Amino acid sequence: MKLSQVLYSQGFGVRRECEGLIFAGHVTLDGVVCDDPFHEVDPEGLVFGVRGEPWPYRVKALVLLNKPAGYECSQKPKHHPSVMSLLPPPLRVRGLQPVGRLDEDTTGLLLMTDDGALIHRLTSPKKHVPKVYEIEAIDPVTEAQIDELLRGVVLHDDPLPVRAAAAEKTGEHTLRLTLLEGKYHQVKRMLAATGNTVNKLHRSSYGVLTLPDDLAPGKWRWLSGPEAVLGTP
């Protein structure tokens, strides 16, 4: 693949812009400037540099974002900035989308990708991909509420009980909840059905993936592929 095609495929602009970056000496291969847009490279495992920043070649991009509060999981946010603004321009150009949504005030692990098939695989209720939430409630958490969440609570728009895959009290006002599906405002509505109210909500894991302790809010990192989330190749 020509070097200009590599840059184009990774979201660095239209072909003329990619060629301009290369002609201007802003692109490196193995730390050495390459100013030939038509230089042939093997994209498999390729890591190139653009203006000093390393960039791995990905046919499909998958990243993990530590979502802070105050951001909407929408391409067209209404009241707050979009989580897209936390990603570098090439990933925004590629059209990455959040895998599911976290509310504006919910923090934690958010996956983003331009792989539509993977989004379906991760969000389909038939796939039973576990998601773990750390909850701070306004009122004290009781064992009766934990039992209700495990047995199943009825939400106003769904006649069938919705059950937590796991639930445990972690403090006087805190609990950990594991869900295998993703309904609108599900965690908040489930806790409300037990007579309590969510004060703070944080997603700590998705599939086999746990939010890294060293990833600060608002920061992101690459994931190698679906196996990083699902634990299978």
Which class in CATH covers the domain with range 3-56? Answer: alpha beta
Question: Which residues have C-beta within 8 Å of that of residue 7, sequence separation ≥ 6?
Answer: 13, 18, 21, 22, 27, 48, 50
Give the DSSP letter of residue 82. B
The reply to whether 130-206 shares the fold of 62-124+208-230 is yes
Q: Please indicate whether residue 231 or residue 21 has the higher confidence score (pLDDT).
A: 21
Tokens of 158: 């769904």
Domain boundaries, the chain: 3-56, 62-124+208-230, 130-206
Please write the tens of the pLDDT for every residue from 82-116.
Answer: 999 999 999 999 999 999 889 999 999 999 999 99
The domain made up of 130-206 is a member of CATH 2.60.120.260? no
Residue 233's pLDDT band (boundaries 50, 70, 90)?
low
Known catalytic membership, residue 157: no
Please write the tens of the pLDDT for every residue from 166-221.
Answer: 999 999 999 999 999 878 889 999 999 999 999 999 999 999 999 999 999 999 99
* pLDDT for position 167: 97
Q: Which of 30, 36, 42, 103 is catalytic?
A: 103
* pLDDT for position 181: 85
Alpha-carbon gap, residue 74 to 54, rounded angstroms:
28
Specify the fold of 62-124+208-230: Alpha-Beta Plaits (3.30.70)
Please write the tens of the pLDDT for every residue from 22-81.
Answer: 999 999 999 999 999 999 999 999 999 999 999 999 999 999 999 999 999 987 778 889
Nearest to 29 by CA among 44, 9, 50: 50
The 3-state DSSP class for residue 121 equals helix
Alpha-carbon distances, residue 97 vs 117, 138, 167 (angstroms): 12, 32, 29
Please write the tens of the pLDDT for every residue from 138-161.
Answer: 999 999 999 999 999 998 777 789
| Sequential DSSP letters for 136-192 | EESSPP-HHHHHHHHH-EEETTEEEEE--SEEEE-SSSEEEEEESS--TTHHHHHHH
* pLDDT for position 159: 79
